[in-house]
Structure 1
């Protein structure tokens, strides 16, 4: 009996790890599309109903919550000048999954032309739609 219980928990651990890898791959594809300015690739891992918000942190002006439409977001990605070099460097992934919902916390540093512009954290919420994970909510913080 103990053997079967052990096998069950090993299977659960392996399944959980596989799910986390799927979720992380979804976020990696999102950023791959972002860095390539490829909104089609980004759309492949995002829900058509995705909500986008950003918190700008400023000790002088105060904190501000902004919301952006999906249309504006994809347009802004496509309109990044070709001579601008940018990179959002993800520092780590913290992934939590419960059934068909996942939450991913990713601290980051954002560089423009190899110079640190700002840092913060992304918080992604994903929904497992059929056999693939889709980003349904993204909020980030931005600190100079």
Structure 2
């Protein structure tokens, strides 16, 4: 009986880890597309009704900004070709309940090799037809003091 309970616990753990890997890979695909300025790749992991928001902390206070997904895709597609940028994800904290997942990903954003700002991304994903899709993305942004 103890072996059966251990086997069941192992199976649940394995399935949970596999789901977390799927969610993490979805986010990695998002950033691969972002860094390559490839909106088709980004859209492949985003739901058509995705919502985007940013909490921007600055000298004049903190403000909440909304961005339409169409505006986001347009801005990515029109980044200057000589601009180099990288958003380094520092870690993934993923939680899953059925067809919903949430990922908390602290990051550092580099522009032309210099740290521009840092913060955290909070992704909410929905599993649609066995595929994880990003439905909501909110991030914080704090300017680097370096």
Same topology, TM > 0.5: yes
SS at match of 1:92: coil
Q: How big is the shift at 1:130?
A: 1.1
Residue-by-residue CA offset, 1:40-81 (whole Å, 9 max, x unaligned): 0000000000000000012x3110000000110000000000
Matches of 1:11 and 1:116, distance apart in 2? 42
Corresponding position of 2:137: 138
Residue-by-residue CA offset, 1:103-135 (whole Å, 9 max, x unaligned): 000000000000010000000000000110000
SS at match of 2:123: strand
Matches of 1:91 and 1:4, distance apart in 2? 38
Counterparts of 1:114-133 in structure 2, within 5 Å, are 114-133=113-132
Matches of 1:76 and 1:136, distance apart in 2? 19
Corresponding position of 1:74: 73
Corresponding position of 2:45: 45
- Unaligned runs of at least 5 residues, structure 2: none
SS at match of 2:61: coil
Matches of 2:3 and 2:113, distance apart in 1? 54
Corresponding position of 1:5: 5
TM-score, length basis structure 1: 0.98
- Unaligned runs of at least 5 residues, structure 1: none
Runs of 4+ in 1 over 2 A off after TM superposition: none
Q: How big is the shift at 1:2?
A: 1.4
